[in-house]
Amino acid sequence: VLDDPEAVATYWDTSLSDDARSSFAFPGLLGAPLLVVPFGLPGRYLDRYSEPDKVMTGLGDGKECWSVPYWLVDAAFAAMALQLLAVELGLGCCFFGLFAQETSIRERFGIPDEARAVGTVAIGYPEPVGERPGQSARRARRPLEEVVHRGHW
């Protein structure tokens, strides 16, 4: 959780070069006073699933035993719950990926190498409606039958 102006500025200085910042499509995002970077820690899941009540699953034997990395799923759910709470409180929020900047953010803030970020949630006050919508806001939604499958795919 980055909630003081210096930490937030350090995040942006680390993840967005001056050149990229000058042409950034969403400059209002840079003014968000709160950034939350949810991380998943696979070792904690391996430890938990090595305990007597879970050992029979075999999931404590290694990351490769997991068909789905639940440390990321749970971190993503936490990010979604945080966004729902922000909206409920009348705040604006935006989830975005770290992509190539994850390593530099981890190093800058002393985050363990094992930790994997699912993205960043910026929280603040929303911009007025209609101000610089993203490209996806201009696309029509897919028909429901393309995204919901009932009984079969």
The encoded tokens of residue 74 equal: 């749970």
pLDDT for 122 beyond 70: yes
* Structure tokens that stand for 46 in this block: 């391996």
> pLDDT digit string (tens) for 19-75?
999 999 888 899 999 999 999 999 999 999 999 999 999 999 999 999 999 999 999
Give the model confidence (pLDDT) of 88-107 as tens digits: 999 999 999 999 999 999 99
The pLDDT value recorded for residue 98 is 93
- pLDDT at res. 52: 98
Each residue's pLDDT tens digit, 124-136: 998 776 655 567 7
Contact 83, 93 (CB under 8 A): yes
Instruction: Check if the beta carbon of residue 126 is closer than 8 Å to that of residue 86.
Output: no
Tell me the domains of the chain and their CATH numbers: 5-147 (3.40.109.10)
Of 29-33, 112-116, 127-131, 144-148, the one with minimum mean pLDDT is: 127-131
CB 125 within 8 A of CB 92: yes
**What was the pLDDT predicted at 126?**
86
Burial of 14 (0-12, 13-18, 19+ CB in 10 A): middle
Can you give the pLDDT at residue 131? 57
The two tokens of residue 104 are 């530099």
By residue count, the chain amounts to 153
